[in-house]
Amino acid sequence: MSILRRLAPYLAYLYVSFVGLTSRLRWLGLERLAEARRVKGRADGPVVYAFWHQRQVFFTWTHRGAHCKILVSRSADGEIIAQAMRLSRIHSCRGSSSRGAVAAARELLEALEQGWDVAVTCDGPKGPARQVKDGILYLAQKTGRPIVPIANALSRRIEIARAWDRFQVPLPFSRAAVVHGRLVHVGPQDDLAAKARELKAALDEAHELAERETAR
């Protein structure tokens, strides 16, 4: 492994921390998160977060120290992401649709049973962009836990046009917003294709709201 690759998680962590410390952050839709957590008279049940691959960077700042396990691919780039998350005190679960899918699904199910939140990039790790894959829907269906669509936006960012998802790198001194969207519940008999469309609509709606908030 090259020295640069070894340093990459630390550089990424320091950079995102700088972005977070210099940006003005607003949270929206926290009442939806509170609603999702209510289960059998309790207010601290686990949830399933869903977000688009394009905006994942800033969540390592906003959710640092969260009691959450996030699905990260077993690729070399995934290793850098997992190490950067570790520095932010965020746990990872390694796997994707092409490598380690069964083991990752089992770990996420066990995490929810143990009270952990879990998070999945609905269109990761390789796309197509903003198209919901079935994995997160099976997870919610199996556990009965609601999906919380979550989005972020920053007023200053770089968009990598050649990336399959037009990946965004946040910039310091931004107006920032994190939005919790409309909850998506997946019942035992629900049609997953219809639920995928519902989740996509909720995520896109949350992104549009985050963009409006940071454009002010």
Q: pLDDT (tens digit, 9 = 90+) per residue, 117-139?
A: 999 999 978 889 999 999 999 99
CA distance 207 to 121: 14
Residue among 127, 121, 134 at smallest CA distance from 59: 121
Model-level pTM? 0.92
Pairing verdict, β 175-180 and 91-94: unpaired
Which residues in the chain land under pLDDT 70? Answer: 1, 40, 96-100
Q: What is the reported pLDDT for 93?
A: 87
Length of the chain, in residues: 216
**72: CB partners within 8 A, 6+ apart:** 78, 81, 82, 85, 92, 93, 94
Q: Which two structure tokens, joined as six digits, stand for 115? A: 């009270």
Q: Identify whether the C-beta of residue 18 lies closer than 8 Å to the C-beta of residue 172.
A: yes
Confidence at residue 206, expressed as pLDDT on a 0 to 100 scale: 98
pLDDT attached to residue 97: 55
Neighbouring-strand partners of residue 100? none
Predicted pLDDT of residue 90: 95
pLDDT digits (tens, 9 = 90+) for 21-36: 999 999 999 999 999 9
